[in-house]
Structures are given as structure tokens and as C-alpha cells.
Amino acid sequence: MNLDRYARLKSPIHQWEPRSKLVSLLTLIFAFAFVRHLILLPFMVVITAGLYLISRLPFGFWLSRLRYPGFFIAAMVFFLPFGTGETVLWHWGWLSLKQEGCEALALILVRFASILTVSLVLFGTAPIANSLKAMRSLGLPALIVDMALLTYRYLQELQEMRVKMQRAMQLRGFRRDRLTRRNLQILAQLTGTLLIRSYERSQRVYYAMILRGYGQEKAQDRKGIQDIDRLSWIASITTLFVAIIFIIVEFLLSR
């Protein structure tokens, strides 16, 4: 939630034209995902850190977004250095630390952190509505754009609804720190109530949109490349050049 909390800051990346920024940074993300050699990891870290510093997004914002997916990735790859490879770097009894596993761990973690950080720079430096409009102007179907915008908007509504319901339950003596059969039944009822209310809310929103003419064909305001300012052109060309360099170097190293 609140991914675009700092979209009103002033930085060169905030002023970057949304369409060119979307294409450039997505290309850079795919280039990072293409990397398979450790020699490129330091360059990925430097470029990613540079982008984040230029964006002027707070460090705490990065930590808060990294926390939960970071826990998931750490749980998935925790045993990788001990079970992958044959070159033993250190061992203690039956436990062996292997070089190939450590290299794979470093590759996964650096790529994950770099891709997540660039994604935060992409979607955290502009309002979500502007980013979705940029996708629409680039050819993404209007239905997908509308569903994405409504999903983002009403997930926040459901979050507020959940908080109110949990607060009401606590005022009535509910203790969620106790794992009992009754508590599990109450949490299941809470989940079911949220699903029903979200379905009913979606119906009301849909009918309201229909009454206001949603679904009728309208002329789309498609901006051309001539509307992109000089700063955005420079930033886009530089970013695309860096992404292409990563892909070419990775291809040459893989031969």
C-alpha cells in the first residue's frame, strides 16, 4: 500500500516523462534478470544505488518494501550454500559450506535487491495513476489498466475495513495472540466477511461506473514522442545503453 507515497518529491527521476521512464527502467530490470555471472554484480549494485540516490526516496521506504519479500527469498535460499556444489570452503561435522552454493546465493540476492530497488524507483517516483496512464498510452488494453487502478485503490479500502473490524473484535475481548480453535473460527469468519463485503463493494462500484458511462468508446489521448522533453530523452538513452551493455557482456561471457 501507498507505493507512491513519495511521488511528489523533487528529483530528476520524478521529472522523468512517465512513458520513457517506464520503457527504460523495465528494460534495465530485464537486463538485470538476464545476468548470470558474478563479475557483473558490483556494477548492478552501483547502478541501482545510483538510481535510488538520484530519486531521493528515503532509505526507510526501501527497507520497508524489502522486508517481507526479503524474508521470503531468505527462507527459500538459506540452505543453498550448504547443499549446492562440490567445492567445500568450510565444514563442521556433517555441515559443509560450498563455493558454488555461495555464488548462487550472491547472484540471487543481488539480482533480487537490484530488481526490487529499480521497481521502487519506477513506481515510487510517480503517482500510480500516471504510471498506469503511461502503460495505456503504450498500448496496454484499457480494461487491464482500469482493473489495476481499481485494485490498487480498493485494496486500501479493504485494509481500512479490516483494521476497523479487528479493532471492534479486540474491544469485545478477542485475543489474537492465542492460537485456539475458537480464535481460528473467528479469523475465518473475519476473512469470509471481508470477501463478501469486497464482492458487494465491487458490484456497487461497477454499477456506479456504468451509470456514469463506463464502457463507451472514447477517443484516447495518445501523446507522441515529440512530447518527451530533452532531459527524459537523455535519461532514457543512457538507461537503455546501460541495459544493452549488460546484455551484450553477459552474452559474451556465456560463450
Per-residue confidence (pLDDT) for residue 217, from 0 to 100: 60
Statement: residue 83 has pLDDT above 70:
no
pTM assigned to the model: 0.74
CA distance 76 to 71: 9
Residue type, 194: L
Lookup: cell for 44:
548492478
Handedness of CA 4, 223, 24, 13 (dihedral sign): negative
The predicted structure's pLDDT at residue 219:
54
pLDDT tens readout for residues 2-33: 777 888 888 889 888 888 899 999 999 999 99
What's residue 53's pLDDT? 92
Q: Which residue has the higher pLDDT, 43 or 94?
A: 43
Are 202 and 154 a contacting pair, CB within 8 Å? Answer: yes
Average pLDDT on 49-74 reads: 85
User: Where does residue 218 rank: exposed (0-12), middle (13-18), buried (19+ CB within 10 A)?
Assistant: exposed
Over the stretch 56-68, which tens digit does the pLDDT of each residue have? 988 888 888 887 7
The single-letter code of the amino acid at 196 is: I
Residue closest to 235 by CA, chosen among 16, 45, 19: 16
Which residue has better confidence, 91 or 181? 181
Q: Where are the beta strands (DSSP E) in 123-193?
A: none
What is the SS3 assignment for 97?
strand
236: three-class secondary structure by DSSP: helix
pLDDT of res. 49:
93
Q: Is the pLDDT of residue 221 over 60?
A: no
On whether the CB atoms of residues 107 and 38 are closer than 8 A, the answer is yes
Q: What share of the chain is helix, strand, coil (3-state, %, to 5)?
A: 70, 5, 25
Q: Taking every pair of C-alpha atoms in the chain, what is the biggest distance, in angstroms?
A: 71
Instruction: For residues 131-151, give the mean pLDDT.
Output: 80
Residue 204 CB-density burial (10 A; 0-12 exposed, 13-18 middle, 19+ buried)? exposed
- Judge contact between 43 and 249, C-beta under 8 A: no
Give 103-114 pLDDT, tens digit per residue: 788 888 899 999
Helix axes 230-254, 18-34, angle to 10 degrees: 10
